[in-house]
Structures are given as C-alpha cells and as structure tokens.
Amino acid sequence: MLKILKYSFYDLSRSRWSYVYFVFYLLLGIVLLFLNNNLSNAVITLMNVIILLVPLIGTIFGVMYYYSSKEFTELLLAQPIKRSSIFLGQYLGVAISLSLSLVLGLGIPFVVYGLFESAIIWDFFSLLTTGVFLTFIFTALAFNIALSNENKIKGFSYAILLWLFLAVIYDGLFLLLLMYFQDYPLDKFSLIATMFNPIDLSRILILLQLDIAALLGYTGAVFKQFFGTSLGFFIAMTMLFLWVVLPVARMLYVAKRKDF
C-alpha cells in the first residue's frame, strides 16, 4: 500500500494542478495578510474559503484523479496486490497531496507574517485541521462516486451535486425546517442537524472561536456550552473522523466486489 501511496503521491506532485492549488493558497494567504493588516478578519475570510473551496476541490480532484488513472489502476489490478491497498494507496495519495498544498500554501505566509507570536495561532490551527479533515472527507466521497459510476459525465455531475447539496442546499432545507417548527424548542435538533453535514460542522467549530460575541445570544449559549466543553469538542471531532472512515470503508467494500 505504501508503495502505491508513494507512486500516486509522486505522480500528483509532478502534476500541474497540485502546484496551481498550492500557489493559489500561497497567494491568498499573502494577499490576506499583507494587504489587510487585520489578522482576525483574515482568518474569517480564510474560513469562508476553506469551507467552500476545500470540499469543492477535494471532490473534483478526487473524481478527476480516479478517472484519469483508471488504466493504471487496471494494470495494477492484474498484479498480485491486494485491492484494498491499491485503492487506499491512491486515496491517501490524493488526500495527502491536497492537504499538503493547503497546509503549506496557507502556512508559509502565516509563518512569515509572524503567526507564532500572535494569539490567533489556535484559530489558525483549527482552521487548518478542519481544512485537512474536509479534504479527506470529500476526496473519499469523490472516490465513492467515481467507483460507482463508469460514466465520467455522470460521475462529475454527481460530484458537483454532492458539493452543492452539502454546501448550500442542506443549509436551505435546515433553515426551512427551523422556520417551520419555530414554535418548538429547536436547539437539540439544530445541534444534531449540524453533525450530519461536515461543512456545517467545520463552520461551527471555527466560528465558535471567532464570532463568539454574536453567538452568545441565548441560543448561542447552548451551542457554546456544547461545543465549548471537551465532550462536545470530542463528539464533533469523532463525527468528522466518522465522516472520513465511513466513506473509505464503503469505497473499499465496493472496490473489493467490483468487476473491473
């Protein structure tokens, strides 16, 4: 598995797109920090970028990589290698190289700016952690979609639809439900509903460290109480972890039984 991971990782690190992705984050980080002068504003803008762009890139890149390396995969399948190591290796190769672009791209300008002396380091750290989690989650989802769809066009459309659903439509439905049932106590419901969407979950985790003043309205207090404690944080992290593990498990399960 490690060998395949290494191959896909090297393959990707030679790819133009990884560099584009890396340079994009590098530029974003530099522009935000050196033209803005306000560190906490920069972190908020970064949050918007991370919770939208990272999932999008993760899904598109994952699907693209799977389809483009399909012939190589079939070649590998002919060798005496376990199927799980082939797919896990490829998956980790993509996810790790994307995460690396993200962490380095944003990390370098922040380190140059002198992040370690500033109090905002924990915000930044949680930003990167959730970014890495989102990369792993959405790459896994993308591999699932690609495995289940031989047709490239269909695969791409499903991938984009998935992103659109989790990033936008889910929140719309969520808000509709909240408005519709506004006469009932909804704080438990909304906590649970956020758990089922990794983008919402990451957003809340970052927000609770930034916009606390507004969130501390009377409902805000409930959320703060939940996510602020170590138990709440642990549950949120577990959920993010499950969001990685479950799609990966399904991917391996499907790959084992698939007739290539």
203 touches another protein (CB under 8 A):
yes
Closest CA to 54 of 158, 127, 146: 127
Distance from C-alpha of 177 to C-alpha of 174, rounded to nearest angstrom: 5
27 touches another protein (CB under 8 A):
no
Shortest Cβ 242–another protein spacing (Å): 20
108 touches another protein (CB under 8 A):
no
Binding range to another protein, per CB under 8 A, among 61-69, 92-100, 133-141, 210-218: 210-218
DSSP symbol at 15: S
Shortest Cβ 177–another protein spacing (Å): 10
174 touches another protein (CB under 8 A):
yes
Binding range to another protein, per CB under 8 A, among 10-18, 104-112, 139-147, 219-227: 219-227
- For residue 90, CA distances in Å to 51, 211, 254 come to 24, 38, 15
Pair 60, 155: CB distance under 8 Å: no
Distance from C-alpha of 26 to C-alpha of 105, rounded to nearest angstrom: 4
Tell me the two tokens of residue 132: 């890495």
- For residue 232, CA distances in Å to 34, 121, 210, 242, 245 come to 35, 21, 17, 15, 20
217 touches another protein (CB under 8 A):
yes
Render 178-241 in DSSP notation, one character per residue: HHHTTTS--HHHHHHHHHT-HHHHHHHHHHHHHSHHHHTSHHHHHHHHHHHSHHHHHHHHHHHH
Q: Which of 77, 120, 157, 211 binds another protein (CB under 8 A)?
A: 211
Q: Which of 182, 230, 257, 259 binds another protein (CB under 8 A)?
A: 182
Q: Which of 219, 234, 238, 258 binds another protein (CB under 8 A)?
A: 219
119 touches another protein (CB under 8 A):
no
* Residues in binding contact with another protein, number by CB under 8 A: 39
Q: Which is nearer to another protein, 122 or 184 (CB)?
A: 184
Q: Which helix (H) or strand (E) holds 121?
A: helix 121-148
Q: What share of the chain is helix, strand, coil (3-state, %, to 5)?
A: 85, 0, 15
Shortest Cβ 187–another protein spacing (Å): 6
Q: Which of 218, 230, 257, 259 binds another protein (CB under 8 A)?
A: 218
Distance from C-alpha of 83 to C-alpha of 147, rounded to nearest angstrom: 13
Q: Which of 70, 77, 187, 233 binds another protein (CB under 8 A)?
A: 187
Residue where the block lists tokens 């703060």: 224
Name which of residues 28 to 67 contact another protein (CB under 8 A): 38, 40-41, 44, 47-48, 52
161 touches another protein (CB under 8 A):
no
Q: Which residues bind another protein (CB under 8 A)?
A: 38, 40-41, 44, 47-48, 52, 167-169, 171-172, 174-175, 178-179, 182, 186-187, 189-191, 194, 200, 203-204, 207, 211-221, 223
